Structure 1
Amino acid sequence: MSQEFPESGVGASLPTRAIVALGSNLAGGYASPVELLEAALSFFPGAGLPVLRRSCWWRSSAWPDPSGNEYRNGVAIVEARMDAGATIGRLLEIEARFGRSRGERNADRTLDLDLIDHAGLVMQSPRLTLPHPRAHERGFVMGPLSEIAPDWRHPGLGLTASELAASASVARDARPAR
């Protein structure tokens, strides 16, 4: 089924659809990274980001060093009644609640929430680049996205989630964790 991502109109109170990638390879205080991810998703509605659709959880090797802890990833399509800056702010608040500490790039993490798309917006600022600048390369993002919105088109590249999943150069081993 095709998923449409209309651009929001004037004003932050109008709903828009945003794509959020979720990932974890550390359980934190939970029994598993999947339990942590499920708990994180339960905070989305209270943060003003009700989940409209979500993928199953996918598994992939750690990157760039595959000897690290295996990752669990997924994608959610959420309704946002705020601009992209406020949306990323809410996602960072949820990350902090789950013990995310930022340090070395590509390090193990309890929770990683990336804003992939916000109503097709193309922008670059010191805080946020949309669409996410590396999402199209990542099998652990495009695979789950193609599961729930295969016809979503990358605002800059014009390719669908399905096409990008097939050509992803990072985490080619990503697959559903069923």
Structure 2
Amino acid sequence: MSTGRSEDVETAFVAVGSNLGDRLRLLRSAAADLDRAPGVAVEACSSIWITAPVLPAHLAGHSQPHQGEFYNGVLRLRTTRSAPDLLELLLEIERRHGRRRAESASSGPPRPRTLDLDLLLFGELTTSGPRLTVPHPRLGERHFVLEPLCELVPDLVVPGRGASVRDLLAALRRRDVDPAPPGASRPGRLKVPPEQWCPPGPARSPKT
């Protein structure tokens, strides 16, 4: 198992999302910021999917604040950063784009977000803590994560899950046959192909 040490070159997957402002511009800007950061190279991007905002299950019955649809995608990175260091970079990029997680993490219904950057996978690392949990704990519950992730790595076995991304997505689709439980996400629709929002360059090494 990978230790996530900074001297290792790891493959990481990051979910990106926005439902406020110029969403496509925000996602392009976030991907560019990541690609410019020392120790990071963007290798590939999924298509962008559009999904409706969903209330978490514990808030079923609350009114949903009016907000726009989410633009969601996934980036594949190569990085020499550790997992905690990469997470801090993601939070810093969110802040640069106007995201305030303290407000979004309140007990009420979720507010519109200028930018969401979530660390989904980091090599073979499995860890759970107050600041960092990898794989992302709700990875298997979200169409807006699994659909774009499956575009990039359908056969990747998710560490600690014993199932591939393709299998997790198939299981989620089977659950869609039944009435959706509160907080369930539904499949989105394709909006923007990868080359139109995050064209990867030739194979690159992370910058020092």
Interval of TM-score (by shorter of Structure 1 and Structure 2): 0.7 to 0.9
Distance 1:159 1:10 in 2: 21
Alignment of 1:134 with 2:124, yes or no, is: no
SS of the aligned residue for 2:40 comes to coil
Go from structure 1 to structure 2 and tell me whether the alpha carbon gap of 1:60 and 1:127 turns closer, same or farther (over 3 Å shift).
Answer: same
RMSD: 1.9
Go from structure 1 to structure 2 and tell me whether the alpha carbon gap of 1:81 and 1:63 turns closer, same or farther (over 3 Å shift).
Answer: same
Answer 1 or 2: higher relative contact order, Cα 8 Å, separation at least 6. Answer: 2
The one-character-per-residue Cα deviations of 1:56-80 (angstroms, maximum 9, x if unpaired) are: 1111001124963100000011011
Q: Is the 8 A contact 1:49 1:78 kept in 2?
A: yes
**What is the aligned residue count?**
168
Distance 1:127 1:83 in 2: 14
Q: Specify the alignment match of 1:110 in structure 2.
A: 114
In structure 2, the gaps of 5 or more residues are 56-63, 176-183, 193-208
In structure 1, the gaps of 5 or more residues are 1-6
Q: Specify the alignment match of 2:181 in structure 1.
A: none
- Of structures 1 and 2, the larger Rg is shown by 2
Q: Specify the alignment match of 2:15 in structure 1.
A: 21
Matches within 5 A, 1:81-100: 81-100=80-99
SS of the aligned residue for 1:21 comes to strand
Q: Specify the alignment match of 2:33 in structure 1.
A: 43
Distance 1:67 1:156 in 2: 37
Could you state the TM-score of these two structures normalised by the residue count of structure 1?
A: 0.86
